[in-house]
Chain A
C-alpha cells in the first residue's frame, strides 16, 4: 500500500516536471543546428581570411593600413559575407530544429518559442547596431569582439526558454569576445573559433545528449 503511494507520487512528479519543461522551454532545439551553424561560420571565416590576407590590406595580425574603417566597397563586401553567413547558418539551424520538432510531434509556435525568439533576437539586434556603428565610425577592429559578446549575451538571455546548456556556450562566447578586445588584428581568429569551433563542439555535445 505504501509502495503504491510512493510510486503514484513519483509518477505525478515526473508528469509535473515534464509539463513544466515543455510549457516554459522550447526543447526541440537540435544539436545538428549548432553543428551546421559552426560549419557555416568556419566556411565564412575561411573566405574572409583569404580576402583579408591579401597584401594590400595587411589586416590580419596588425590592423594598420587598410583596416576596414569606412563604408568602402571592400567593407561592404565583408559585411555582405557576414550577413550571408548569418542567413545560411540561421536557415540551416531552423531546418534541423523543425525536423526534430516534427519527429517528436511538438508544436513549433508556442509561448516558449515566442519567448525564445524575443530573448534571442533583442540582444542580437543591439549587437548588429553596435557592429554597424563601429564600422561607420572607423573602428572596424571592434566588430569581431562585439559580435561574440552580444551573441553570447543573446544565448544567455535565451537559455531560460530552451535547453539550458546554451547558457554555458553563451558565457564562453562573451569571454572570448572580451579577450579579443585586447588583441586587435586577431578578431577573425576569435570569430572563427567562437562561431565555428565552439558551435561544432557544442552542437555535437547536445546532439549526443538529446538527439541520439
Chain B
C-alpha cells in the first residue's frame, strides 16, 4: 500500500491556503474582506497565498466594482476542486490508517 502522506498536496501545507480552499469549496465566490474575516489573517499574508493558488490554477480571480470601489472576488476552479478533494482523501486515509 502506498503511503498516504505522499499523497498530500504540498500546496495545501499552509493553514491559510487550506482555509481559502475550504471557503471556496462551499460558496460560489467570496471577496477579499470576507476571506480575511473567515481565516483571521493579515492582508499581505492572504494576498501572497491567494497568488500561489492562482498561479496553480486552483482558484480564479475576478475583478469587479461596487460603485467606484474595486471588489475582487475569488472562486474555485475544477482543478482546484479535484486537488482539494484528493488532499482531503489523503488526510482521511492517514487518520483511518493510524487509529
Contacts and interface: CB of A to CB of B under 8 A. Distances in A.
Interface in A1-24: 2-3, 5-6, 9-10, 12-13, 15-17, 19-20, 22-24
Most buried by B among A3, A10, A16, A20: A16
A6 B98 contact: yes
A73 to B, nearest CB: 47
B30 interface: yes
B88 interface: yes
Interface residues of A, number: 20
B95 A3 contact: no
Contacts of B27: 23-24, 111-112
Interface in B65-99: 88, 91-92, 94-95, 98-99
Given A12-B91, A16-B88, A23-B38, A2 B22 contact: no
Given A6-B98, A15-B19, A23 B30 contact: yes
Nearest to B19: A19
A13 B30 contact: no
A110 interface: yes
Contacts of B30: 23, 111
A22 B38 contact: yes
Interface of B: 5, 15, 18-19, 22-23, 25-27, 30, 34, 37-39, 88, 91-92, 94-95, 98-99
14 contacts: A2-B98, A5-B94, A6-B98, A9-B94, A13-B95, A15-B15, A15-B19, A15-B22, A16-B22, A19-B39, A20-B26, A23-B23, A24-B26, A110-B34
